Amino acid sequence: RGLLARIERLDPEINSFVTVTRDQALERAEAADAQRARGEAGVLAGMPLALKDIFCTEGVLTTAGSKMLGNFVAPYSATVVEKLAATGTVSLGKTNMDEFAMGSSNENSHFGPVKNPWDHSLVPGGSSGGSAAAVAAGLVPAAMGTDTGGSIRQPAAFCGITGLKPTYGRVSRYGIIAYASSLDQAGPMARSAEDCALLLNAIAGHDPRDSTSVSRVVPDYTRDLDAPLDGLKIGLPTEYFGDGLDPGVEAAVRDAVKVYESLGARVVEVSLPHTDLAIPTYYVIAPAEASSNLSRYDGVRFGHRCANPLDLEDLYKRSRAEGFGEEVKRRILIGTHTLSEGFFDAYYRKAQQVRRLIRQDFLDAFDKVDVLMGPAAPTPAFALGAQSDPVSMYLQDIYTIAINLAGIPGISVPAGFVGNRPVGLQILAPHFAEAHLLNVAHAFQ
Ligand code: GLN
Report the alpha-carbon angle 85-173-62, nearest 5. 65
Considering the candidates 52, 83, 94, 115, report the single residue annotated as catalytic.
52
- Domain ranges within the chain, ordered by starting residue: 2-203
213 is catalytic: no
Considering the candidates 131, 151, 213, 319, report the single residue annotated as catalytic.
151
Measured from the Cα of 128, ligand 1's closest atom is: 9
**410 within ligand 1 shell (Cβ under 6 A):** no
Ligand 1 centroid from CA 149, angstroms: 5
16 is catalytic: no
**405 within ligand 1 shell (Cβ under 6 A):** no
The DSSP string of 85-136 is HHTT-EEEEEE--SGGG--SSSTT-TT-PPPBTTBTTB---SSSHHHHHHHH
pLDDT in tens, the chain (445 residues): 899 999 999 999 999 999 999 999 999 999 999 989 999 899 999 999 999 999 999 999 999 999 999 999 999 999 999 999 999 999 999 999 999 999 999 999 999 999 999 999 999 999 999 999 999 999 999 999 999 999 999 999 999 999 999 999 999 999 999 999 999 999 999 999 999 999 999 999 999 999 999 999 999 999 999 999 999 999 999 999 999 999 999 999 999 999 999 999 999 999 999 999 999 999 999 999 999 999 999 999 888 999 999 999 999 999 999 999 999 999 999 999 999 989 999 999 999 999 999 999 999 999 999 999 999 999 999 999 999 899 989 999 999 999 999 999 999 999 999 999 999 999 999 999 999 999 999 999 9
> The domain 2-203 is classified under which CATH number: 3.40.50.720, 3.90.1300.10, 3.40.630.10, 1.10.287.3510?
3.90.1300.10
Q: Per the confidence metrics, is the pTM higher than 0.80? A: yes
**104 within ligand 1 shell (Cβ under 6 A):** yes
Is the complex ipTM more than 0.95? Answer: yes
Are the beta carbons of 125 and 132 closer than 8 angstroms?
A: yes
**187 within ligand 1 shell (Cβ under 6 A):** no
The closest of 371, 410, 439, 426 to 256, measured between CA atoms, is: 426
151 is catalytic: yes
| Cis status, amide bond into 104, omega within 30 of 0 | no
3-state secondary structure of 372: strand
Ligand 1 centroid from CA 23, angstroms: 32
